[in-house]
Structure 1
């Protein structure tokens, strides 16, 4: 995770420079970086490394380091970093190295706080204009550590020092959620409200003013709104909750799904039962079966009895199945799956060839990828559904890890969460292209899932995730059962 944050800081720090240099080194070599052979990439890495002695500005070093990282030459990247930090002891590269190797390695709030104070003493924020976001990452991490130790006063103290409003919610929201989970609604509520209000500000801007920062900030609206309104609902403040939700849905109707759970509860609390029933029906029809008790209660109240409920329930589920069947048609492809031979957590080789005759589900993921992890309970439930089917195999392909200790981290993550997954390490580079398996499959973002039929052909490719366990189960069932059918039959169905 810390390496991912460092990458973000490196990119943030180079933002203004990149805008000033339209034909920078990265863009100049983009063809090799994206489509070059392994020989071409190695040649570029060697050329860049040889040219280091001629570099003058710190940003030139940073660009070279970023390209070497992209090329997978970590040894050269580390060597250039050492040279740069010696040459620019008070520069941003040395600062970022300190953040990675000292601050993020510190354990506990006391050690992190000490490291943070040393950071701002040696590398004051004022010395790095337009790089405030780098410090905001650190402040959010420090506040999060205090929150986990149930020290809200210190957590809030550091959150209030954040600089970038568009990113502020990424510190306030998780800290608020952590405090909320610990039962501290008094401390959590104001933080969640700040995150919600910030997101509302950006989401309600005129379209011509919505730059990438505004769009990023707006993405957190449903999460912060749901958490804050959830507090109001639990307090019985339904009218205020409802007012906030309907205000949100007016400016951002696309957020409706994310607000549905608190919306129906607020409607019920204000005695708008028919509207609550309609929202609940839609939720249930999208696979959120955990709302069934409330749905039953409203059904009985509005209809005077439970007569006809089972037929109604079956209709909603049938509607969901049809919706999923239509949806997966958009994911359908047909091409031979790239062969692979990767090691699992036990060090055993697992190949695609050895699984011929089975439907294989591949799930590309990383420990730092929150959307990947959000989908795991649903994927676990889907795998359990097929645990007695010898003709179906789930494989969880761990890819794009950037920490040197990734294998230890992966094992720790799987064991901590007790996931019964067959995990394979995607760390074998192709001799010709230098790509790992994710690259061979054309993965551009994770999570990415592939369903491969018994003959070794990719039949479905889907990206993104859902935290909805029941929906994932039903979706995976439709995908797997479709992949079991001969290709022609599947395309006609």
Structure 2
């Protein structure tokens, strides 16, 4: 039966491959990519690799390499990449390999500048129409490195060469924030204003004109607005800041949360204290406890004293807890967690079976995943809260790394940030499916967190992240404490 299935698959692939575009190929082989056995995946990889001898274009190589990557067949992926690079030395595959291997691994601005010049010399942008974004990525990365080294003039010069307006805010914003953190407001302000103005342009387009590029550019509005308005607030230009914020609230009400901090400060600065107090109260009730000093100040000014503050504060926190409890109901599940035995940074084996009797928090992450990293301070705080609880174990599962030197990079990342995490490498493939553990858990995007109870059952599953440390602490506490309790099946409505 298996031989017949593989023979049929081989024939099907051979007959139809040349006519299929990449999205069609992915769609055609999706069942095998997602649920196929290891034997089926290996057979598909063999067929695709064999068909490469008939390829006439670089795009055919790229499409097949991407499918081999999805099949996690690194040997054939690298072999085919090597063939393609020799066949198309001035093509995009060779260029992209150089960018990955040389440019992104270069340390320091001098090495990155040298690599960038090499890219633009061997693979000039004019030879790759509609691929300007690839070069914008390099410019933004190089500018970011220069900014971290305090070379603001050079950083701004490279940013000025970016061509894709919808994406340039992703280069301008982090560089502006880096310069701002270093105290270089003069260089930071125009970058942040450009990022803000670009995002505003896209967010204010008529709905019928908003394509995916416009929607992507719009997402950065709150961040760029907050950073730029923060400069105005620090300068005492509260009225100007308030005008910009209220304009933003009109065209992008969904971004109100991201602007709340600069909004209440601007309201305070212009004497609109009651409105500022209302914004502050909402912020605090969402777990932004770092605003408490300002909340106390306004409470005393508006009420004439601090009488009743503690009760008021406790009420806000209780409302937050109740909101989290309601929210985590949406994350509830109940199924046996896949077993695993993975290596930690010291090379020691850690298995789920060895942790039976404990509540286990799994956090799937990667060094390239900014949302993952953004939540780490909060996860560190949550772990610290349970450091004396022998019945709770946090495990940070490093997965989907893209670099061959990922183990070295992971160790370097953890040591650099001094995170006291138990990190496991998710690189042990299932002999039947070829999946790593993330796949066995059904992870389709990271960060992804699972709360497993003492009996080895997944009780909660959540995705996404927030930089709000206090909120993460409270959310994790509710999840962990709920998982400690016996499972109760939802009552029939």
Cα distance in 1 for partners of 2:380, 2:22 equals: 46
- Per-residue deviation, residues 316-375 of structure 1 (Å, max 9, x unmatched): 011101101100000011111111111111111111111111111111111111111111
CA contact (8 A) 1:378 1:470 kept: yes
RMSD (Å), alpha carbons = 1.5
Equivalent residue for 2:198? Answer: 198
2:314 corresponds in structure 1 to: 314
| Distance across 2 between alignment mates of 1:241 and 1:188 | 16
**5+ residue gaps in structure 2?**
1-19
1:491, distance to aligned residue in structure 2 (A): 7.5
| Counterpart in the other structure of 2:484 | 484
Deviations 1:140-172 (A, max 9, x none): 111111111111111111111111111111111
| Corresponding residue number in structure 1 for 2:16 | none
Q: How does 1:57-68 map to 2 (within 5 A)?
A: 57-68=57-68
Q: Which residue of 1 aligns with 2:227?
A: 227
Instruction: Tell me the distance in 2 between the aligned counterparts of 1:491 and 1:114.
Output: 65
Work out the CA distance in 2 between the residues paired with 1:334 and 1:153: 55
Aligned to 1:252: 252
Q: Shift of residue 111 of structure 1? A: 2.2
- Matched with 1:34 is 34
- Which whole-Å deviations, capped at 9, do the CAs of 1:438-478 have from their partners, x for residues lacking one? 11111111111111111111111111111111111111111
Tell whether the 8 Å contact from 2:381 to 2:473 is kept in structure 1 after alignment. yes
Q: Report the 3-state secondary structure (helix = DSSP H, G, I; strand = E; otherwise coil) of the residue aligned with 1:334.
A: strand
Q: Residue by residue, what CA displacement relative to the aligned partner does 1:232-291 show, whole Å, maximum 9, x if unpaired?
A: 111111111111111111111111111111110000000000000000000110111110
Correspondence 1:90-489 to 2 at 5 A: 90-488=90-488
Supply the distance in 2 between the matched residues of 1:262 and 1:245 (Cα, whole angstroms). 8
Further displaced range: 275-284 or 114-123: 114-123
Q: What's the secondary structure of 1:350's corresponding residue?
A: strand
**Distance in 2, Cα, partners of 1:490 & 1:384:** 32
- Offset of 1:87 from its aligned partner? 1.2
Task: Give, in whole Å, the separation in 2 of the partners of 1:23 and 1:107.
Answer: 36
Q: Which shows bigger deviation, 87-96 or 419-428? A: 87-96
Take 2:129 and 2:213, find their aligned partners in 1: how far apart are those partners? 17
Kindly indicate whether the alpha-carbon contact (under 8 Å) linking 2:359 and 2:452 is maintained by their aligned counterparts in 1.
Answer: yes
Q: Distance in 1 between matches of 2:292 and 2:108?
A: 42
Q: Post-superposition shift, 1:184? A: 0.4
Tell me if the contact between 1:482 and 1:490 (Cα under 8 Å) persists in the aligned partners.
no
Between the aligned partners of 2:467 and 2:307, the Cα distance in structure 1 is 32
1:489 is displaced (CA, Å) by 8.0
For structure 1, the 5+ residue unaligned runs are 1-19
How many angstroms apart in 1 are the aligned matches of 2:106 and 2:388?
A: 45
> More deviation in 94-103 or 399-408?
94-103
Higher deviation after alignment, 183-192 or 408-417: 408-417
CA distance in 1, matches of 2:419, 2:31: 40
Kept after mapping to 1: 8 A contact 2:22/2:63: no
Structure 2 vs 1, CA of residues 360 and 490 (structure 1 numbering), >3 Å: closer, same or farther?
farther
SS at match of 2:488: helix
In structure 2, C-alpha distance between the alignment counterparts of 1:461 and 1:443, rounded to whole Å:
10
TM-score under structure 1 length normalisation: 0.94
Shift of the 491–437 alpha-carbon distance from structure 1 to 2, 3 Å rule, reads farther
Paired with 1:338 and 1:125, the residues of 2 have a C-alpha distance of 47
Contact 2:203-2:215 at 8 Å conserved across structures: yes
TM-score, normalised to structure 2, is 0.94
1:63-108 deviation line (CA, Å, top 9, x unaligned): 1111111111222112211211111122111211221222223222
Give the equivalent residue in structure 1 for 2:14: none
Further displaced range: 362-371 or 204-213: 204-213
CA contact (8 A) 1:448 1:461 kept: yes
How many residue pairs were aligned? 473
Describe the SS at the equivalent of 1:40.
Answer: helix
Equivalent pair of 2:341/2:352 in contact (CA under 8 Å): yes
SS of residue paired to 1:488: coil
Q: Secondary structure of 1:330's partner?
A: helix
Supply the distance in 2 between the matched residues of 1:490 and 1:315 (Cα, whole angstroms).
Answer: 29
- Structure 2 equivalent of residue 69 of structure 1: 69
Q: Distance in 1 between matches of 2:284 and 2:220?
A: 24
CA contact (8 A) 1:26 1:63 kept: no
What is the CA–CA distance in structure 1 between the aligned matches of 2:101 and 2:247, rounded to whole Å? 45
Q: Determine the C-alpha separation between the residues in 1 that align with 2:419 and 2:122.
A: 43
| Structure 1: distance between partners of 2:139 and 2:45 | 35
Q: Is the 8 A contact 1:428 1:437 kept in 2?
A: yes
> 2:287, 2:339 → 1: CA distance?
35
Of 320-329 and 142-151, deviating more is 142-151
